Amino acid sequence: MTATENPATQQASNTYRPSTLQRFLPFVIAAVVPFILGATTNDLNFWWKAAITVAILALVARLAWRWTPRGELTHREDMRLWRTPSDRSWAALTMFGLLVLPFILASDFTPPMDFPWATWFAVVNLVLIFAMGAAAFNLLVGYSGQISLAHVAFLALGSIVGGIVGVQWSGGNMWLALPAAALAGAVVGAISGLPALRLKHLYLLLATFGFHFVMMLVWREYLQEYFGFVGIRFKGVNSPRIASWLHWLPGIDPDENGEFIITGQFRWYWVLMPITVLSILFMVNVIRTREGRAFAAVRDRDVSASLLGINVARSKLMAFALSSAVVAMSGVLASFYIGSRGEDSFNVQTVLNYAIIIVVGGFSSIQGAIFGSAFFWFLPEWFKWAREELWFVRDIDFLSDYPSEIDLAIKGFLVVIILMFKPDGLAGLWRDFKNWLGRSLARRKP
Amino acid sequence: MSDPILSFDDLTVQFGGVRACDSISGSVERGSLFALIGPNGAGKTTLVNAVSGVYKPLPGAQVQFHPGGKPSKDLLSYRPYQIARLGVARTFQNLGLFMGENVLTNLLLGRYIHEHTRLIEGGLFTRRAVKRELAARAAIERVVDLLDLGAFRREPVGDLPYGVQKRVEFGRVLAMEPELLMLDEPMAGMSVDEKQDMIRYIYSAQDELDMTVFLIEHDMGVVMSIADHVMVLDFGQKIAEGTPAEMQRDERVIAAYLGTEVEV
């Protein structure tokens, strides 16, 4: 059967109706924003709350207006990141959630049954850092098909550059360390990608894993001499400061030394969230434009890609450079956020953790990296809560005796399950859920 | 008056002790439809692979590409991706598509050599990157219209029927806008209807888009009806060359295809 005989597919690929969720979203948000702001923020005065509410509503209304498709999609509309009404609804919800989440977490609201609300803020910030690194790692391993285990070496490189540029040279200037780390990551990343020009699959994996140990050697030989035996300290006088042009913001007061230090989960969230979101958007944009398409082409068939005019070697090295640059930046963020980095911050376990994150989240999906890192950090929290609060888990001594081992066992078990039954991971499950939701909403319509 | 777009001379490709192509010479006229035929294992695909840079022929071979209005190029001194950028595009016998990607992505990859968006521009999604992306999509649209692929834009190529996949691959090389289009059995495994469609598409590529077509084909009937010039290979040797009508009468060609009588 040829294409033209099937009008159903022809229609579906070109026109859209706004979804139910999309139609009601502005109303939902309008109802929820003042409530949450009112309930959660004690240290903001009324006018700030009103201003934030109006700003969020204006943004949502503008996007809803701009993104409502009218008739056939033009190419410009078709190129959008969020093409379908359902995509747009979810994107708006995510954006809204990211803006509101810190206020909820910072409030003194306590959920029932001692659910670990208070510790969540630190976990959310770690998820942001890991999501950025894992997304970059997934771009290289999943999307570009260059199996690499050198990513933790680039986290270490980020810490090294953060230590030299951010701490030694500028005494805690993270904003200088970030671009420096990106640059260093891109250059060293391209060098670490050189084996990819000759090797594939398992052999490439071994070669890049070797690079990890080279970086650890650099750390041991060079850095312990300059930064001391324990590692680099990013805390105290080396903490990053808030830029002076932002001091007018609410809740930004100097501490007893008159310094505006980025400290506390709430402030860190507003540093980490935009950087993570922007760098992930950058990678998504790369994927949907020329060079990103070339990455996929090289992954699938390199001979065929080269006959389309793609310089395969250059494309591979660019994938390595891009991925390593972002990983190095997340290394800088992690260093300044966590406060100190030593040799055992970059052990083999960390390498495996990233592999777990992208396998559980979903191979070759940027979204999967976000889901994966959320899963990776929330699972221990929930498991801990279950051990303490749920009677049927609390009584099993075995679980309480070996908490971290069982954490790992659960993760390992899930990796096996997911590889066997759901190769596209949590991102795939999420896609299925969205499709199911769309179908059931559509069915209810008269 | 001969105006070749491609000429190859003394082209030998050897795998171990097997000579897949044995000192083959010939030339393709600009704007013509050149067909390369021969039984299985005759070395047809090997010849195309050698011209497009995938295989290296033995020293002594000459492959000259004469782009219109530019000095001629010795293709043997270029890598495959450079040859593609010079304006020689080819398809694969068993499909060189990226099966997990959708039709749109596959076709847009054909525009790779004409777009010039850099990685950072693409990542920042600058105004210029968007403009170039739109230009690439407009170019794709012509191919989509020509090949009736509109219904499949968002479908992963791996999910499509074989005949459509063949069309997508053909569309991808058309999007490259090459001067010389090398088609490696574009009609293999197709039904009669699909074959006729494909012939129509090849004609429009040749006439409307000003491409020279170098066609490898198995089906003698098709070749005889559309080709301007035919070259016949057998066991890596060129056994005959000429117009389709001449080839149909040539005894060596008949022998290669049907076999010769053997005295028992």
What pLDDT tens digit does each residue of chain A (446 aa) get?
A: 344 443 333 333 444 555 656 666 666 666 676 666 665 555 666 677 677 777 777 777 766 666 665 556 777 777 888 877 777 778 888 888 898 888 888 877 766 667 777 778 899 999 999 999 999 999 999 899 898 999 999 999 999 999 889 888 887 888 899 999 999 999 999 999 998 888 888 899 989 999 999 999 988 888 877 777 777 888 777 788 887 777 777 777 777 777 788 888 888 998 999 999 999 999 999 999 999 999 999 999 889 999 999 999 999 999 999 999 999 999 999 999 998 888 888 888 889 899 999 999 988 788 999 999 999 998 888 888 888 877 777 777 777 778 788 888 888 888 899 888 888 889 999 988 888 877 777 666 54
Q: Which long-range contacts link B200-206 to residues 24+ away (Cβ below 8 Å)?
A: B201/B146, B201/B147, B201/B167, B201/B170, B202/B33, B202/B226, B204/B146, B205/B174, B205/B181, B206/B31, B206/B33
Q: What is the mean pLDDT of chain B?
A: 87
Q: Which pLDDT value is given to residue B68? A: 82
As a whole number of angstroms, the distance between CA B26 and CA A364 comes to 46
Domain ranges for chain A, please list them: 20-63, 124-254+261-343, 347-446
Q: Which pLDDT value is given to residue A43? A: 60
| Nearest residue in B to A281, CA atom | B123
Instruction: List chain A residues with CB under 8 Å of B45.
Output: none
Residue B84 sits at the chain A interface (C-beta within 8 Å): yes
The β-bridge partners of B230 are: B35, B242
* Percent residues over pLDDT 70 in chain B: 98
Cβ contact (<8 Å) for A309 and B122? no
Q: Residue B151: which of A9, A290, A311 has the nearest Cβ?
A: A9
Q: Residue B98: which of A6, A283, A296 has the nearest Cβ?
A: A296
Report whether A204 contacts A148 (CB < 8 A): yes
The mean per-residue pLDDT over the stretch B37-50 comes to 87
Looking at this predicted complex, what is its ipTM? 0.90
Alpha-carbon gap: B73 to the closest alpha carbon of chain A (Å): 16
Distance between first and last Cα of chain B:
49
| Nearest residue in B to A314, CA atom | B81
Cβ contact (<8 Å) for A307 and B99? no
Report whether B163 contacts B194 (CB < 8 A): yes
Q: Which amino acid is at A359?
A: V
Domain ranges for chain B, please list them: 1-87+178-264, 96-175
The mean per-residue pLDDT over the stretch B10-39 comes to 88
Q: Can you count the helices (H) and strands (E) in chain A?
A: 20, 2
Per-residue H/E/C for A319-367: HHHHHHHHHHHHHHHHHHHHCEECHHHHCHHHHHHHHHHHHHHCCCCHH
Question: Which is nearest to A424 in space by CA: A381, A368, A379?
Answer: A368
Question: Which is nearest to A422 in space by CA: A433, A434, A414, A411?
Answer: A414
Alpha-carbon gap: B21 to the closest alpha carbon of chain A (Å): 21
| pLDDT grade for B3, boundaries at 50, 70 and 90 | confident
Q: Which pLDDT value is given to residue B206? A: 84
Cβ atoms within 10 A of the Cβ of A377, count? 21
Mutate one of B78, B91, B119 to test the A interface: name it (highest A CB count within 10 A).
B119
Q: Which pLDDT value is given to residue A1? A: 36
Instruction: List chain A residues with CB under 8 Å of B112.
Output: 290, 293-294, 308-310
Q: Which pLDDT value is given to residue A41? A: 57
| Nearest residue in B to A312, CA atom | B81
Report whether B91 contacts B186 (CB < 8 A): yes
* Percent residues over pLDDT 90 in chain A: 31
Question: Which is nearest to B88 in space by CA: B178, B217, B151?
Answer: B178
Instruction: List chain A residues with CB under 8 Å of B108.
Output: 290, 293
Instruction: List chain B residues with CB under 8 Å of A3.
Output: 148-152, 164
The mean per-residue pLDDT over the stretch B113-126 comes to 90
CATH assignment of B1-87+178-264?
3.40.50.300
pLDDT at B99 over 70: yes
Cβ contact (<8 Å) for B134 and A79? yes
| pLDDT grade for B111, boundaries at 50, 70 and 90 | very high
Q: Which amino acid is at A316?
A: K
Q: Which pLDDT value is given to residue A265? A: 86
As a whole number of angstroms, the distance between CA B97 and CA B171 comes to 11
Instruction: List chain B residues with CB under 8 Å of A305.
Output: 109
For residues A223-235, b (16+ Cβ closer than 10 Å) or e, as one string? beeebeeebbbbe
Cβ contact (<8 Å) for B99 and A6? no
B167-225, pLDDT tens digit by residue?
999 999 999 999 999 999 888 888 888 888 888 888 888 888 888 999 998 777 888 88
Alpha-carbon gap: A314 to the closest alpha carbon of chain B (Å): 11
Cβ contact (<8 Å) for A3 and B150? yes
Per the listing, tokens 């293999």 go with B188
B68-94, pLDDT tens digit by residue?
888 888 889 999 999 999 999 999 887
Q: CB-based burial of residue A104 (10 Å sphere; 0-12 exposed, 13-18 middle, 19+ buried)?
A: middle
Contacts of A164 (CB under 8 A, 6+ apart): none
